């Protein structure tokens, strides 16, 4: 049976462009699909929707990301599953809501849990088809040895086990609250105690690892996950970008991230791999607004990291695969990181895990035939452990009563020290994101049918993943690794 399923999947893979024609009656991507692509996934940290030129940034230049957008496809309604580091990464790498796999929120250096060995990561999925797999950057799915990337499908890893602000030298760290941060290579300590001088070099070093990996594996199919720990605070930049943006340290840091993207693109070009590599760029959550001039911008969207407003979980996303994704195009359909797992599995003909995942194959949204629609009935946004705070379906987003946080009216943070959020009571409210992307007008009173439908959708996920706000226990959640 599995063999037949596999054959059907592979047939579907090879006939993808034809399927698009059949579904829409419109033009297929420019070239037929040749062989399964290499994949480079770039996932930055706390970069806002408005922190890329192609998404509206004007304070600093991002020429390489803008080039990627011209040569590829921009996704303007792209979401992470939770607006905080660990949970967002858990969803990206497993295709599951973080709550399904017991990884909501952010893990600390002393957290005893991490990603379970019974989950399947993107790297393990790629290994099924013989891909070389590598990672450089911030992991944040558990720092005990059994949780590290090399135990979860990555052949190589160079980077940090968790966030670089969980660090004794961070201005906000209370004495004794954090151990030194190790820089890891594989599952060994490369350097035991990260210094400020080391932090300045990380974006460069992670990019160099990506380039080296691409050079080394140019003859095999490969998957590389580049996860810079920038522009998450504390901000550091190498000499080559100090004071270069004219927009302060945050702008300099974004310029260095853009440079790192350029290094990857150049390595692909030099090795003649551009046409056979899908490059994906996005960020793990929106800007950490309490850091003021050390935070980015959510562009036109409300609030930022740590909230379920669009500024928290809507991210700039660009994908490029010449001949397969239409160049210089925009996809305005909603999409979430959980969908990358099944979509990439389909592209390379890999089996999906036997356990439940939440993402769906969204290849038509990447390939771009007009009329392609998102196959999900809804996306669910949880925060604060297992609080279901919002549901999105089509253009509608329904909030449930909860307390968020805001910097509005507060003294802003400055130069690495944060301001203080104040609690923001959020009432049950319905927004139409097509006409009101800034989430300003509650239309629940005028839209009783949409309200009812989203409430019903929320009930289906409450029965499955639970909801602390309504005291519903989960039935379909799996434990994290302990």
Q: Which residues bind Mg ion (CB under 5 A)?
A: 45-46, 85, 284-285
Note if 313 is an active site residue: no
Identity of the residue, 211 or 260, whose beta carbon is nearer to Mg ion in the bound complex: 260
Closest CA to 363 of 321, 392, 396: 321
Question: Which CB, 258 or 284, lies closer to Mg ion?
Answer: 284
SS3 content of the chain, % helix, strand, coil (to 5): 30, 20, 50
Question: Bridge-partner residues for 383, per DSSP?
Answer: 387
Element spanning 157, H or E? strand 156-160
Handedness of CA 285, 287, 288, 294 (dihedral sign): positive
Helices marked H in 419-467: 448-465
For residue 243, count CB atoms less than 10 angstroms from its CB and return exposed for 0-12, middle for 13-18, buried for 19 or more.
Answer: exposed
Alpha helices in 192-283 (DSSP H): 196-216, 248-270
Q: At closest approach, how far in Å is the CB of 48 from Mg ion?
A: 11
- Rounded to a whole number of angstroms, the minimum distance from the CB of residue 350 to Mg ion is 28
Q: By C-beta, is 284 or 467 nearer to Mg ion?
A: 284
Nearest CB to Mg ion, comparing residues 282 and 386: 282
What residues have CB less than 8 Å from 19, skipping those under 6 apart? 12, 364
Q: What one-character DSSP code corresponds to residue 27?
A: P
* Six-digit token string for 2: 């599995």
CA atoms of 89 and 416, how far apart (whole Å) = 24
CB 110, min distance to Mg ion, A: 19
Burial class (CB in 10 A: 0-12, 13-18, 19+), 332: exposed
Which is nearer to Mg ion, 45 or 439 (by Cβ)? 45
152 catalytically annotated: no
Q: Considering the complex, state which of residue 76 and residue 285 has its C-beta at the smaller distance from Mg ion.
A: 285
Largest CA-CA distance found in the chain, in angstroms, rounded: 64
**CB 342, CB 359: distance < 8 Å:** yes
Q: Report, in Å, the least distance between residue 104 CB and Mg ion.
A: 14
Q: Are 47 and 383 in contact (CB under 8 A)?
A: no
| Residue 406 CB coordination number (10 Å) | 18
For Mg ion, the closer CB: 82 or 386: 82
CB of 166 to Mg ion, least distance (A): 12
Question: Among the options 85, 96, 317, 331, which is catalytic?
Answer: 85
Catalytic residue (choose from 140, 232, 313, 324): 140
User: For residue 366, is it left (φ>0), alpha (ψ between -120 and 50) or beta?
Assistant: alpha
Minimal distance, residue 141 CB to Mg ion, in Å:
13
Shortest gap between Cβ of 315 and Mg ion (angstroms)?
10
Which of 162/431 has CB closer to Mg ion? 162
CB of 140 to Mg ion, least distance (A): 8
Three-point CA angle 72, 255, 148, nearest 5°: 80
Residue closest to 426 by CA, chosen among 393, 456, 463, 384: 384
Best CA proximity match to 283, nearest among 349, 339, 214, 337: 337
Q: Are 101 and 478 in contact (CB under 8 A)?
A: yes
Q: What positions carry a catalytic annotation?
A: 85, 140
């Amino acid at each position: 049976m599995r063999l037949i399923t596999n054959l059907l999947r592979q047939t579907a893979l090879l006939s993808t462009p034809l399927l698009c024609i059949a579904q829409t009656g419109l033009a297929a991507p420019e070239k037929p699909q040749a062989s399964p692509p290499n994949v480079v996934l770039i996932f930055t940290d706390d970069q806002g929707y408005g922190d890329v030129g192609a998404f509206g940034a004007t304070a600093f230049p991002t020429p390489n990301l803008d080039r990627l957008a011209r040569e590829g496809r921009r996704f303007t309604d792209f979401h992470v599953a939770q607006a905080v580091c660990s949970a967002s990464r858990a969803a990206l790498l497993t295709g599951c809501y973080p709550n399904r796999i017991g990884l909501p929120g952010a893990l600390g250096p002393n957290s005893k849990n991490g990603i379970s060995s019974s989950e399947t990561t993107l790297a393990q999925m790629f290994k099924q088809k013989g891909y070389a797999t590598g990672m450089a950057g911030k992991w944040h799915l558990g720092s005990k040895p059994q949780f590290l990337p090399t135990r979860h499908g990555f052949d190589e890893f160079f980077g940090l086990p968790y966030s670089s602000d969980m660090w004794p030298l961070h201005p906000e760290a209370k004495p004794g609250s954090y151990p030194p941060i190790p820089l890891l290579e594989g599952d060994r300590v490369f350097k035991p105690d990260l210094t400020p001088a080391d932090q300045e070099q990380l974006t460069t070093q992670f990019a160099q690892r990506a380039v080296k990996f691409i050079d080394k594996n140019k003859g095999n199919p490969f998957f590389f996950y580049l996860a810079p720990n920038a522009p998450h605070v504390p901000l550091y930049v190498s000499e080559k970008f100090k004071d270069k943006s004219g927009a302060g340290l945050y702008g300099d840091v974004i310029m260095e991230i853009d440079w790192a993207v350029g290094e990857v693109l150049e390595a692909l070009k030099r090795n003649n791999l551009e046409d056979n590599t899908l490059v994906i760029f996005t960020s793990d959550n929106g800007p950490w607004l309490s850091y003021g001039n050390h935070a980015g911008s959510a562009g036109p969207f409300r609030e930022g990291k740590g909230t379920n407003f669009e500024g928290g979980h809507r991210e700039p996303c660009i994908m490029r695969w010449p001949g397969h994704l239409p160049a210089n195009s925009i996809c305005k359909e909603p999409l979430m990181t959980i969908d990358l797992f099944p979509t990439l599995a389909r592209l390379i003909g890999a089996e999906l895990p036997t356990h439940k995942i939440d993402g769906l194959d969204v290849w038509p949204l990447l390939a771009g035939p007009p009329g392609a629609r998102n196959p999900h009935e809804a996306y669910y946004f949880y925060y604060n452990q297992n609080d279901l705070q919002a549901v999105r379906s089509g253009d509608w987003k329904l909030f449930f009563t909860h307390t968020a946080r805001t910097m509005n009216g507060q003294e802003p943070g400055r130069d690495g020290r944060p301001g203080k959020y104040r609690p923001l009571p959020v009432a049950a409210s319905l927004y139409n994101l097509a006409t009101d992307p800034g989430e300003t007008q509650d239309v629940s009173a005028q839209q009783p049918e949409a309200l009812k439908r989203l409430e019903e959708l929320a009930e289906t996920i409450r029965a499955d993943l639970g909801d602390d706000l309504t005291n519903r226990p989960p039935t379909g959640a799996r434990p994290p690794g302990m």
